[in-house]
Amino acid sequence: MSDAGGRRPRGGLGRGLGALLGDVAQDERVAAEASSAPRGGVRMIPISAIAPHPGQPRRHFDERALDELAASIAERGVIQPIIVRSHGHDYQIVAGERRWRAAQRARLHEVPAVVRDYSDSETLQIALVENIQRQDLNAIEEAVAYQRLQDEFGHTQEVLARVVHKSRSHVANLLRLLDLPAGVQESVVDGTLSMGHARAILGAPDPATVAEEVIAKGLSVRQTEALARRRRGDETRPDRRGRPAAGGSTGSADIAALETQLADLLGLKVRIAFHDDGHGAITLEYSTLEQLDMVCQRLSGERI
């Protein structure tokens, strides 16, 4: 059964989300090699005829970064075309809203784009996952995207982790951030608190009050963890690794905190082996080749 116009049913993914994201990646590779002339499937579309997707998970756009991109576009044009779909008489963005916004600031009248035929369901899922994979979202936006993929499409945490090439624990930790009060979440969105701070605050009985103190005193993640333990009254209880929770002299708590921060950054399980002579090793655990590729791209400085 098809939608009006011959599209695939809106309730399913048809070829699968991985295949759809592969389409977007292939489109962008081809489009990046195309000039501003309409060839290779790329066409010029008036900016006024393009609208963002209302379900776009990204809500915060860094103004300075947009200005920098706009300046580059004003000088060189839009090098990597956006991906859109037909929507009524106009077009709707599937991938590339940041470039579209920057092009407006650069006062362009049209942008290069690749037009694809995606259903509502496919478009929303691509918008969510594409942003997550590109690291374009802050921790709360990423968590909301995971929650939407669970609620609206029935994806389990295992499926989400596989699709976005992150560990299941990373997905679970992000989702837990949505239990924080709205004010604390807003502090994560605007960058006042990091994901590490937010995770530490989660364990406090009064997260909003703890967050205020952390911000006022400029506490580090390690200090925030200690503050949360004091508020819980379990300052001397061993942590899940069997180390003293309040450890100060052994340095093991510092290593554990660093493992957590790196895991949050990479979305993978991280282990650090530290030796007394100052040598050591960092181990990253991946479960798919896509996760390994993601790490390689990060280390080489390539954009995902």
Catalytic residues, by residue number, are: 97
Kindly give, in sequence order, each residue whose CB lies less than 8 Å from that of residue 277, ignoring residues fewer than 6 positions away. none
Nearest to 211 by CA among 182, 172, 175: 182
First to last CA, the chain: 35
Angstrom CA distances, 243 to 198, 247, 259, stand at: 22, 7, 14
Q: Taking phi first (over 0 means left), then psi (-120 to 50 degrees means alpha), and beta for anything else, what does residue 25 get?
A: alpha
Nearest 5°: phi and psi at 23? -60, -45
Helix then strand then coil, in percent of the chain rounded to 5, is 50, 15, 35
Three-state DSSP at 45 gives strand
Three-state DSSP at 293 gives helix
Three-state DSSP at 174 gives helix
How, if at all, do strands 110-116 and 280-285 pair?
unpaired
Dihedral of CA 158/159/164/165: which sign? positive
